[in-house]
């Protein structure tokens, strides 16, 4: 049954065309939100929009590269036609694998542009109306790499550490404005992004993709990949009344992989 506090609130989810972003968008729609769906590709956004409408809620897909300031300005204008964004979920991200010596500088710059600057741009541009309303929820999808590190993830790990740091500072600066700012730190999630990373790693180090996925799963004491819906459930919790006193946190959804 939808949480009354979320009914008809406007939620913006970036990276909404697939994976965690898609799961969060649908979960918020089930709780009564109207959902603005942002992503780089029109076709996946259209499919998720139909899922949201299937929940009886309005969906507003917007093509946007969050790593571009100009694109996020245009996203703010488009979302403003729907209403004030009260729940912002920054889920857009990329995760190419490369060791520090073989990584091109351009790859690091691109990962930081999308994962960190994209989160920063969205936070900054949608925060002020939340302050004016004295209510808002910002949920940044980070990673267990925001707390620890794995080989061949230098760019991704740096970007997610930055996201978690930004989350904590924003939580301090908005704590008296009716706003909470939190990060969710998933472990390896069963998404196409994870499977693509497994394929790349298998090609680089040898072996088969299923073997690499099994290696990913073994990073968790539960010996499994997380489900995108499990991450989405944490987002709904943080967006609803149960999350009123939770701010500045990095919530691990990782089957016990990182215990801190």
Within 8 A by CB and 6+ apart from 161, the residues are 145, 146
156 in catalytic set: yes
Residue 22: how many CB atoms within 10 A of its CB?
A: 25
Candidate list 120, 121, 156, 188, residue with the active-site label: 156
CA separation for the pair 246, 96 (Å, rounded): 31
The percent helix, strand, coil of the chain (3-state, each to 5) is 50, 15, 35
Hey, what long-range contacts does 241-246 have (CB within 8 A, 24 or more apart)? Answer: 241/3, 241/5, 243/137, 243/180, 243/182, 244/180, 246/180, 246/182
Residue numbers annotated as active site: 156
């Amino acid at each position: 049954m939808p949480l009354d506090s979320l009914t008809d609130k406007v939620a913006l989810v970036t990276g909404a065309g697939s994976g965690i972003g898609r799961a969060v968008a649908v979960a918020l729609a089930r709780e009564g939100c109207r959902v603005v769906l942002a992503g780089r590709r029109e076709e996946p956004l259209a499919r998720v929009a139909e899922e949201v409408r299937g929940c009886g809620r309005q969906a507003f897909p917007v093509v946007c590269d969050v790593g571009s300031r100009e694109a996020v300005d245009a996203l703010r204008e488009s979302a403003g036609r729907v209403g004030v964004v009260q729940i912002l979920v920054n889920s857009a991200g990329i995760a190419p694998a490369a060791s520090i010596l073989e990584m091109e500088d351009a790859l690091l710059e691109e990962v930081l542009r999308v994962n960190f600057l994209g989160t920063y741009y969205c936070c900054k541009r949608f925060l002020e109306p939340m302050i004016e309303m004295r209510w808002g929820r910002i949920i940044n999808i980070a990673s267990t790499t925001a707390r620890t590190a794995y080989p061949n993830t230098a760019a991704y790990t740096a970007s997610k550490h930055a996201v978690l740091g930004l989350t904590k500072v924003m939580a301090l600066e908005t704590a008296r404005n009716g706003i909470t700012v939190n990060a969710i730190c998933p472990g390896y999630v069963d998404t196409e992004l994870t499977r693509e990373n497994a394929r790349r790693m298998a090609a680089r180090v040898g072996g088969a993709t299923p073997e690499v996925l099994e290696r990913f799963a073994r990073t968790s004491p539960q010996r499994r990949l997380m489900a995108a819906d499990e991450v989405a459930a944490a987002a709904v919790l943080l967006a609803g009344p149960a999350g009123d006193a939770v701010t500045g946190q990095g919530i691990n959804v990782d089957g016990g992989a990182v215990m801190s």
